[in-house]
Amino acid sequence: MTNLPPSQSVSALADLYDPLSAQSHEDPYPSYAVLRAQAPVYYCARHDVWALSRYADVRAALRDWQRFTSTQGVEMADYVGFFGEGNFLELDPPAHDTIRRILAPRFLTRAMRSYEPIVRQSADEILDELPNAGEVDLGTGFTQRLPVLTICRLLGIPAAQVPWAVTATTEMMTRPAGESGPSDRAAQLRTELVELFRSEVARRGNGAEHDDILGDIARAIHEGVLTVEDIPGICLLLIAAGMETTTSLLGSIVDALASGAVTAEEILQDGMVSGEAIDEFLRYDAPVQWLCRVTTEPVTLHGVTIPAGARVLMLYGSANRDPEVFDAPDELRIGRDTSRHLSFGEGIHFCLGMPLAKLETRVGIAGLLGRYRRLQSAGSPQRYPSHIIRGFERIPVIVGD
Ligand code: HEM
């Protein structure tokens, strides 16, 4: 049975999935299983969006940027365009490729060796501020802090400004439950962060003497490849894209350790979290559950035609639980082949920061386990209110020797 287009919808299929419901926030996986089996091309009338849930369909659509564009925004609500020009997540080629090419060398796997000391220092500084024993919120105290502190340093924000930039970005990205678009406070912080980025890029002149990401941007502007108008979108995307996402990955691992779902021995290899463990946590609970594309022409899939101009959710979280691709997908099994998970996307928008996210996780979790021998859950962790990001904002844990 396949889903029917809106004009022919039947009530039995009308309420299979609502991306903004409390149930989807709490546990979307049962609905995903129903969608994959019964309605792989699903129309949600309540929000006028479509959803693709099977691995093969999500992957193919993500690769087909000509028919599934990112230029109309990749979220559902009023955040579209919030970051501004230069946000290449919301650009198609050739503009997308031009900007991505400038930044790519900083995010290559081989660049990570030189970042490792910066990530380690950041993790140590954060852990130094935590108590040696007792109850700690490892969400606000650790998992939320490491990604944003690291990227501020890689961008090249001056040390004196980093604490402010970390706090401002964290606050800007906080989306209270029920809020449909950016608050006035978020808009104001956006303006202040953009001012900082603009002045730092200007200070770098032609960029030749600054070996950091803001220096790369200054150089590209000097060479005429970028303009100053591109600064807000590029910098806000870089500072924000790796924040709640990497926080969620770190949080899944911290929670699994604290609740006893996994042991340190199961996830560590040579003192670091193994690549296999990281990828399985990513597959099992995708930090980005979905993002959108908009169709540029009618697209027919499984006998259902999605009209042109339709917003379509790419359900990464569902694709990663597709039994056609992963055996016993609802089990967390460290050691399984996870090379195909879609948690970092697919195609031209594949996550630029993947090597950095993995480095932060390897180093961050090793640092945490080196500091505390005891990690024990002290209550239920609290999720981000977001429907897109699946991860913990607060993780109460009793720590100690
Ligand atoms: C576990 C952590 C992370 C996850 C799960 C994640 C996930 C994703 C996903 C799913 C996309 C594709 C978006 C789309 O298809 O429209 C993406 C793109 C992107 N990510 Fe990540 N991300 C993570 C960490 C990071 C980090 C640390 C950075 C570093 C700054 C980063 C920077 C980006 C950028 C710049 C893009 C846009 C790429 C493009 O449009 O070409 N991400 N990420």
| pLDDT tens digits, 289-335 | 999 999 999 999 999 999 999 999 999 999 999 999 999 999 999 99
Q: Which residues of the chain have pLDDT under 50?
A: 1-12
Q: Which domain holds residue 199?
A: 6-400
- Does residue 394 belong to any structural domain of this protein? yes
Number of structural domains the chain divides into: 1
What is the reported pTM? 0.94
> What CATH number has the domain bearing residue 106?
1.10.630.10
- Does residue 107 belong to any structural domain of this protein? yes
- Does residue 96 belong to any structural domain of this protein? yes
Measure the CA–CA gap between 35 and 318, rounded to whole angstroms.
9
Q: Cβ–Cβ contacts within 10 Å for residue 20, how many?
A: 15
pLDDT for the residue 82: 85
Measure the CA–CA gap between 166 and 169, rounded to whole angstroms.
5
pLDDT for the residue 37: 97
- Does residue 1 belong to any structural domain of this protein? no
pLDDT for the residue 81: 80
Cα 11–chain centre separation:
34
Best of 143, 344, 384, 386 for a ligand 1 pocket test (most atoms within 8 Å of beta carbon): 344
Reported as type and span, the H/E element at residue 241 is: helix 231-241
pLDDT for the residue 14: 65
- Does residue 12 belong to any structural domain of this protein? yes
Question: Using an 8 Å Cβ cutoff, are 182 and 223 in contact?
Answer: no
119 lines ligand 1 (CB under 6 A): no
219 lines ligand 1 (CB under 6 A): no
- Does residue 69 belong to any structural domain of this protein? yes
Reported as type and span, the H/E element at residue 198 is: helix 184-203
Tracing tokens 């890029």 back to the chain, one arrives at: 201
Question: Using an 8 Å Cβ cutoff, are 260 and 371 in contact?
Answer: no
- Does residue 127 belong to any structural domain of this protein? yes
pLDDT for the residue 7: 42
Cα Rg of the chain, angstroms? 21
pLDDT for the residue 10: 39
- Does residue 144 belong to any structural domain of this protein? yes
Ligand 1: atom nearest CA of 314 is 15
- Expressed in angstroms and rounded, the spacing between residue 345 Cα and the centre of ligand 1 is 8
pLDDT for the residue 181: 75
Ligand 1: atom nearest CA of 350 is 12
**Mind listing the pLDDT tens digit for each residue in 57-72?**
999 999 999 999 999 9
* Listed residue (238, 248, 241) closest to 214, CA to CA: 238
151 lines ligand 1 (CB under 6 A): yes
352 lines ligand 1 (CB under 6 A): yes
The residue whose CA has the least distance to atom 30 of ligand 1 is 238
242 lines ligand 1 (CB under 6 A): yes
pLDDT for the residue 78: 65
The residue whose CA has the least distance to atom 18 of ligand 1 is 351
